[in-house]
Structure 1
Amino acid sequence: MKVLIAVDGSKFSRDALEWYMKRIHLRENKIIIVHVTDHLRNFAYNTSVIPADPELIQLAYQEEEHKARALMDEMGDFLTKNQIEGEVIRLFGNPGELIVKKAQEIQADLLISGSRGLGLIRRTVLGSVSDFVIHHSEVPVMVYKH
């Protein structure tokens, strides 16, 4: 079975990966871990960035890049340490769209995502990646919500 697991570095995506490993994973499964960087969406979450201040934007961008690289390394180490066949992929753009597209592209059998549990206002304004994935994926989806 080929399983795509979407991670964003949050506790929720780590919990989803852990839940999968404890309850579903079989040695013969291949895991494709996908992280999508969407700078515009991430800036919307960070209310401390003032759009008119280029220095703050550059610092926020650098911090986001550092976190993304660290997450990619962590996930690669996870696969190696646990002797799991798989790969870690980083994409850039709209997370929901790219996760759905990648799952179809690799012909995944299952797509797993964590749910941040955004409040109603943020979910309405920013959208929810897991909601998008559920409604647009042709691949079966499991959303882990703690």
Structure 2
Amino acid sequence: MANTSPASVIAPSTRTVIIGVDDSCFSEYAFNFYLTHVRKTGDNIVLVHVPEFHGVIQAPAMLTDPGVVHELVKEEEIRTRQLVHKYSEKMKQFGLGGKMKQMTGKVGESIIETSRAEHADLIIVGTRGMSKVRRTFLGSVSDYLVHHANVPVLVCRHKEFDAQHDRVHHHHHHR
């Protein structure tokens, strides 16, 4: 029998939405896409960030020089602080409830792990939100998520940016 008590009518549905973020414009696009097209009153947002140096340190070539590793870690810590600040401000600005989780390891696995732990209803990511370094030895995060997630995955294509991005960065692919 349908429950029609007044409380259930008034109470907004609470969904948990995971958004994968890094310091690229693709994450920002995914975040904005959520705001414009997906957002519902009462949503609980979990932003997941995986700092890149964890990946870099796993690359054997980098390990030969501790100085290089140290520099990368320092740079990444600064970038991470800026990123956390930026998204905290956005959450406040748009009155979003939720939190930011910093994870270590592989991006795809971290997002899936968070999704299970937080009982997420939806996962949102941008495509190509990977640095050049990262992309060379990590498969596509969005592919991984689509295959492993137990909830719907929304992969935001940045259509205006894609064509332009290919022109600007095409030289990186000739390695």
Give the TM-score normalised by the residue count of structure 1: 0.85
C-alpha distance after superposition, 1:90-128 (max 9, x if no partner): 11111111100110111111000111077xxx8674211
Does residue 31 of the first structure (1) align with residue 45 of the second (2)? Answer: yes
Gap change, CA 1:36 and 1:125, over 3 Å in 2: closer
1 CA distance for matches of 2:108 and 2:38?
Answer: 23
| Structure 1 unaligned residues grouped into runs of 5+ | none
Aligned to 2:164: none
What is the RMSD computed on CA atoms of the aligned residues? 2.3
Give the TM-score normalised by the residue count of structure 2: 0.72
2 CA distance for matches of 1:14 and 1:34?
Answer: 13
Q: Give the alignment partner of residue 63 of structure 1, picking from 75, 78, 97.
A: 75
Aligned to 1:15: 29
* Corresponding residue pairs, total: 140
1 CA distance for matches of 2:135 and 2:89?
Answer: 32
| Structure 2 unaligned residues grouped into runs of 5+ | 1-14, 159-175
1 CA distance for matches of 2:66 and 2:57?
Answer: 13
Shift of residue 42, structure 1, vs aligned partner: 4.0
Aligned to 2:146: 134
2 CA distance for matches of 1:19 and 1:104?
Answer: 23
Does residue 96 of the first structure (1) align with residue 103 of the second (2)? Answer: no
Shift of residue 50, structure 1, vs aligned partner: 5.1
